[in-house]
Structures are given as C-alpha cells and as structure tokens.
Structure 1
Amino acid sequence: MQPTSTQNLVLFGDNLDAVAGLPDASFTLVYLDPPFNTGRAQVRRAVTSTRTTTGGLRGFKGRTYERVRGDILSYDDAFEDYWSFLEPRLAEAWRLLADDGTLYLHLDYREAHYAKVLLDALFGRECFLNEIIWAYDYGAKSKNRWPTKHDTILVYVKDPAKYHFDSTAVDREPYMAPGLVTPEQAERGKLPTDVWWHTIVSPTGREKTGYPTQKPEGILRRIIQASSRPDDRVLDFFAGSGTTGAVAAALGRRFVLVDRSAEAIEVMRRRLPEDTVFETVAPAAGGVAAAGA
C-alpha cells in the first residue's frame, strides 16, 4: 500500500518488504532504532552492493565504500551478520529521504564506531551532521569498569546543502550552572547540545506501555522538532511501542511506522490516533527480533 501524504500508517511485517513500495524521496525524517548487536544470533539476507553507472544505489561512494566495508568486515566477523542485516535498510532509508531529509540511526556503544565509518562511506562523509550522545543514569552499576549509561544516535543528511534543521523549534532545557547566566537566560533555558541528559521511560510514569525497548517521548520529540516541519512525513523502520508516531502526531507531522512484532502492533493500536491505518505486509523469510521506540 502507498500511503497518501495525509495518512498515518502502521505496516505489520518485515521492514524491507514494507518500505519497498514507498515512493522515493517521500520522507523528511527517517529514524531507525534497530536491535542492538549484543551477541544474539541474527538471521540475514544475502545482500551485495556494487558500483554502477546506470542507476542503483546513488548514495553509495563506489570503490571507496566497498574497500571500507571489506576492511571492517574482515576485521570483525561478528559485525558482518549485523551489518548485512542493517545495510540494506540504510540503503532504503537513503532512497526514501527527501533532498532536505535527515536520518537518525540509534545504536549503542558496541556498533556505533563501526556504523560511523561505514555510513561516512555509504552516505558520504560530507553528509554526516552529528553524533548525539543520549546519557541516562538508571540500572545496574558496574564495579569493574565505568558503567555504560549512554546510547549513540548518528545523524546523516541526504544533501548537506538542503537539509532542514530548526534549533529554535526545539524545547529548551535548564542550564546546568544557572548562576553563571542572567536570570532571563536561566528562565528561558538553553538550546540542547549534542549531549542529551534524559531519563529512560519511568517504570511508573504515564508514558510506560510495557514494551521492553520503549524510548522516551522527550528524545523523539527533540529529533522531530529539529528535523521536520508541521505536515512533514516521518518514517520509523523499527517502531516498537510507537513512540515516534505518538510524538509525530502530537507535533502535527504524519507518520509511517513499521514493525514485525504482533505485540508492538497491539501496543500501537492502543496508543496512536484513532485515524491511524493498520496494514499487514506479506511475511518475509528470515528476519530478526523487533526492537524499536
């Protein structure tokens, strides 16, 4: 199904199959929160990327990309399965981004450094915008190393000369040292930097849906405010509990969400606006466990 520009849509099925029918350059913002590569076995499809002068994946950087990819995959066999799963989805994300569009790839510390190098070669280093660190302080405390309390969000744009970014639309945050600024500045708050201090979803808070990988609305709100405008279209490949859609709708954006988890679909049915359309995509062979926001 091809959604209209005014339709909110949830697609139930494998995201590669689901997004294949969506038109090129139709989203201002694409967000991916894939399963983190924490040692779980991944079932993957065989996908190759080759240089071509007649169409193909236009964002790829030809031989440079293939060389970088080969170097990394030969260095870390464990990463190969994960990247072979993630790579075709990033290629589709590039296709679906409008010229003023932005990609947000949400990862943890195990994969972010590999993904950064490969995305530089895949999208073009000039298309790298930010590495956002989402820092939180919750959960177990390690006694034999510095406790790991952050995620990484890599931000790439389709065209560095055309992308949309509006920092003035983003909710401000308190100064960490309000005594060092004027009272007026302290009351207004400051624009966020690339380090975001934000708690996880509270186990007893109003946001809690019970979905295990749910992300806070505040994180998605900041992303959507900065990198899209009212009535723009937002796509989430791994929708999970539907946070991206819930925030997008509240901000006057339209969304397309994809997930292959029946549990996620049921959570989204309860959470998203009543006019949201739910469609089932023909099941694909293979795949991995759902993650998502």
Structure 2
Amino acid sequence: MTTMPWQPEEAGPNLVVHADNSTFLPTLPDGSFTMIYVDPPFNTGRVQSRQQTTMVHNADGDGDRTGFGGRSYDTIKGALHSYDDAFTDYWSFLEPRLLQAWRLLAEDGTLYLHLDYREVHYAKVMLDSIFGRECFLNEIIWAYDYGARAKNRWPTKHDNILVYVKNPKKYHFDNAEVDREPYMAPGLVTAEKRERGKLPTDVWWHTIVSPTGKEKTGYPTQKPEGLLRRAVSASSREGDWVLDFFAGSGTLGAVAAKLGRRFICVDQNSQAIQVMTSRLGHVATVVALETA
C-alpha cells in the first residue's frame, strides 16, 4: 500500500482520502487526533421471510381461491423460512476500526460514535471494553421530526451518539464554544438568560438536512452541519486535527474548515469521494491510495 509521510504537528494540507479505512488507519501515528467522529453504516438489515404456498383443487367448490375456469382451490401453506440479510459479522467489521480510533486519539481526545437503536446497546458494551467504562462521557440523543410515521408503534425519530474520551482526567471539553438553544419556558428565566440562551443537554433537537436546502449534497446519509459543529466546537480547539473515517458526504470536514480545525476524511466509496471533492476540494487535498 502507498503510505503517506503524514504527521499531525506538520502544517500539511487537510486530506480527503480514497481508501479502505482498515488499511489506511494503521499508517497514521498514535495520538494524532483531538476528536474523531465515526458514522459507520448502520446494521439496518431486516430478517426477510418467505413462505411456500401450494394450491390444491377443491372438488366441492368451497375452496378459498378461484382459479382458471372457475375451479376452486384450497391454499396449503408450507414451512416458513427466514433468512437474515444483515451484516452477519457486523461487529468483527467495526471492532478493529474502533480499536484504531482509540489508538489514534490524543490523551485529551474524544470519540463520537454515531449509530441508531439497532446496534447502540451492543456498541456501548464494546466501547466499555476498548476504552474502559470510566471513559464513557455521554450518550447523546439526536432527535428530529421528519419523514414517515409508523402507525403500529412509536415512530422512531432519533439517532444515538456515544461519546468516549481517551483519558477521563485530561479530555478537552469547552462548552463556552457551543451554540446555545432557546429556553423552552422563556417566561421562567431573566431577560438576560433568554437573550443568551441555554447550554444544550444530551438531547439535541436538530432537523435533518433539508432536501431543498443549500447544505444538501445528494449523498443519502448526509448529516447536518449543525450537529457536527456542536461536537467539534466542544471537543477540539482551533488548529487541532479531527478525523472521520466513514466520511460519506464530508460534513465533518466542512465544519472543521469553517471552525479552523485541521481534518482528514476517509471513505472507500467513489460516490462519497466525488461529493467530498466538490464540497471540500478548495480546502483539502484529495488523495487516492492503492493497494499493491
């Protein structure tokens, strides 16, 4: 594999890297990043069901189906077969990459792992093992109100972001840099507090990327800049390096550039690289790494 003589202290360019993250990440030095955001593919596979059906002629004419020429048939249902089209080995896919994230974080660094309800509970156990339970900082709930409404259960309108720190005694967190929110009961606080707004809690109400907004890139899993801006602002300083190795549309890079952070965005998907080249090409060098 082509490697890169990259060191975090160098004033090198921001990077958009076209590569498999499992082969690229080991080439980066230990402790290089103050903040890592990971938005891996969710394990959204469903258990699909298929059932064999046999039609048997009913001579009495009182079957449950009518066929050609008005002939009556009974439906005989066969054995039900199920198969799982999910990542059958999702966690062996994700675990080595999370181990790399731990290695690459600086002592004052923070990991944000973005998942949904399907896998977040398993991820919590895995990250407790990798980082240590004492390094768990928060579970952030990203709540939004957009899209279809389920009628047979409570509609699912949130994602989960697990936040872990490399060292619980040294991690960087600056809430003074975070955007503030309006008070839900403004009449109960002073005018000064109303004007300033309140600090966010671990529930972040933020709309998804508008299908018609300027921010929209067309990438299917694009995350809104406001969501990443809050994490980057709190958990890194101006000039720090941040990393996203499932970069998708490059939202972390876009936010980092606006906030004066240095960034590396990695993805092996050609569509993602095209989107990031268009979105970040003016502030980053695009590099394609080839395996030998």
What TM-score do the two structures reach when normalised by structure 2? 0.82
- Aligned match of 1:62: none
Task: Give distance in 1, aligned partners of 2:90 and 2:286.
Answer: 29
Unaligned 5+ residue runs, structure 2? Answer: 48-85
SS at match of 1:190: coil
- Aligned match of 2:20: 14
SS at match of 1:247: helix
- Aligned match of 1:174: 182
Q: Assess, with a 3 A threshold, how the Cα gap between structure 1 residues 11 and 33 changes in structure 2: closer, same or farther.
A: same
Instruction: Give the aligned length.
Output: 250
Post-superposition offset of 1:3 = 2.9
Q: Assess, with a 3 A threshold, how the Cα gap between structure 1 residues 153 and 2 changes in structure 2: closer, same or farther.
A: farther
Q: 1:39 aligns with which of 38, 45, 48?
A: 45
Contact 1:17–1:281 under 8 Å retained in 2: no
Contact 1:28–1:101 under 8 Å retained in 2: yes
The answer to whether structure 1 residue 164 and structure 2 residue 172 are counterparts is: yes
Code of the aligned partner of 1:187: E
Which one has more relative contact order, counting CA pairs under 8 Å at least 6 apart?
1
- In the TM superposition, structure 1's runs of 4+ consecutive aligned residues that sit over 6 Å from their partners are none
- Aligned match of 1:224: 232
SS at match of 1:209: coil
SS at match of 2:172: coil
Matches within 5 A, 1:103-252: 103-252=111-260
SS at match of 1:23: coil
- Aligned match of 2:33: 27
SS at match of 1:153: strand
- Aligned match of 2:290: 282
Contact 1:31–1:104 under 8 Å retained in 2: yes
Q: Assess, with a 3 A threshold, how the Cα gap between structure 1 residues 205 and 275 changes in structure 2: closer, same or farther.
A: closer
Instruction: Please identify which structure carries the higher strand content.
Output: 2
Q: Assess, with a 3 A threshold, how the Cα gap between structure 1 residues 125 and 80 changes in structure 2: closer, same or farther.
A: farther
Task: Give distance in 1, aligned partners of 2:221 and 2:110.
Answer: 23
SS at match of 1:186: helix
Task: Give distance in 1, aligned partners of 2:46 and 2:15.
Answer: 30
Task: Give distance in 1, aligned partners of 2:168 and 2:100.
Answer: 19
Code of the aligned partner of 1:251: L
Structure possessing the higher radius of gyration over alpha carbons: 2
SS at match of 2:89: helix
- Aligned match of 1:3: 6
Contact 1:32–1:104 under 8 Å retained in 2: yes
SS at match of 1:36: coil
The C-alpha deviation readout for 1:177-206, integer Å capped at 9, x for no partner, is: 111111110111000000000000000111
- Aligned match of 2:58: none
Matches within 5 A, 1:255-270: 255-270=263-278
Instruction: Please identify which structure carries the higher helix content.
Output: 1
The answer to whether structure 1 residue 93 and structure 2 residue 101 are counterparts is: yes
Unaligned 5+ residue runs, structure 1? Answer: 42-77, 285-293
Cα RMSD of the aligned pairs, angstroms, is 1.9
Contact 2:116–2:160 under 8 Å retained in 1: yes
What TM-score do the two structures reach when normalised by structure 1? 0.82
SS at match of 2:125: helix
SS at match of 1:35: coil
Contact 2:244–2:266 under 8 Å retained in 1: yes
